[in-house]
Amino acid sequence: MSEQLPPGWAQTDIGTLGRYVNGRGFKEAEWRPSGIPIIRIQNLNNEQAPFNYSDEEHEERYRVRDGDLLIAWAASLGVYRWNRGPAWLNQHIFRVEVEERAVSKDFLHYSLKHALDGLYARTHGSGMVHIKRGPFESHPLMLPPLPEQERIVSKIDELFSAIEAGERALEQVRKLVEHYRQSVLKAAVTGELTRA
């Protein structure tokens, strides 16, 4: 990064800001119809995707709790905030143990989302793309002081809320436009459109 850093900011890398715990390689033979859900990448990309379950106890490092940051680093890349209850972490997903003395979980969440754009260009594999741990952890990030992180997160949340409100309004306009089109077509095929 060649940009001039604002006062109080530091240049660091992803690996410095947390510990990235890879999930367990659950085998299909271990899946059960009930128990604790096993988070697979499909469950991160689609909340309607069915879970596989485990009714056994596993190492504590594979346990996921509400609020945990998760990163899909293979197949499809993404950063997620887990809020669907206790679960087990499957392979190809990192659970982030955030270094909270340096970075807030919310700021790291947004920073990682932004970093994945740059990392995607460095993925490996042709069928199932993935990020290697070394390039992932050494990817540079700019880090503001904690109070500035809080201000940035607050502003992002505010702007994203405005964007979502705009998207909802656009969807309403699209529905009205489609309704108007249908009314015009109906009027055309029934003769109302050109009736004097």
Residue 11 has pLDDT above 80, yes or no: yes
**Length of the chain in terms of residues written:** 196
Give pLDDT tens digits for 45-59: 999 999 999 999 999
Q: Which of 174, 192, 173 is nearest to 183 (CA)?
A: 192
Residue 127 Ramachandran class (φ > 0 left, ψ -120 to 50 alpha, else beta)? alpha
Tell which wins on pLDDT, 20 or 165.
Answer: 20
pTM of the model: 0.79
Quickly count: other Cβ atoms within 10 Å of residue 86's Cβ. 11
Res 2: pLDDT: 46
Quickly count: other Cβ atoms within 10 Å of residue 75's Cβ. 17
Res 48: pLDDT: 93
pLDDT band at 107 (very low <50, low <70, confident <90, very high): very high
